[in-house]
Amino acid sequence: MKKIMKKHFPFADKPNTACFTCSHVLEEHKPILYVSHDDDGYWSFLCGGSHTEKDLRLVALAEILDIDGSMADLAGLDYGQYAEAEDAQSNWVVGRE
Ligand SMILES: [Zn+2]
């Protein structure tokens, strides 16, 4: 199936920028419920659970959009901000680390 590629990438970072997700999102297809953009500029897209280092996976930002295109809505998170949602249907609540 053909994919429609948007010309405008929603993040200020390049599509191949490395970011963190977790095995639960990547391998178990859990919804992304916690997104953070830390002070160093790193993005994390995690399920709502708790994580150790072995649960983390390094992917490109473009892959995150393939997993969940609605992450484009959170591309404007500032450095040091995070967004969390109770479940896949809930609204995002944005906070600061
Ligand atoms: Zn997880």
CA of 67 to the centre of ligand 1 (A): 14
Kindly report, residue by residue over 49-66, the tens digit of the pLDDT. Answer: 999 999 999 999 999 999
Kindly report, residue by residue over 82-95, the tens digit of the pLDDT. Answer: 999 999 999 999 99
Two tokens, residue 85: 């949602």
- As a whole number of angstroms, the distance between CA 69 and CA 53 comes to 25
Kindly report, residue by residue over 14-33, the tens digit of the pLDDT. Answer: 999 999 999 999 999 999 99
Task: Report yes or no: 67 and 25 within 8 Å, Cβ to Cβ.
Answer: yes
CA of 23 to the centre of ligand 1 (A): 6
pLDDT of residue 97: 80
CA of 49 to the centre of ligand 1 (A): 5
Q: Reduced to 3 states, what is the DSSP secondary structure of residue 37?
A: strand
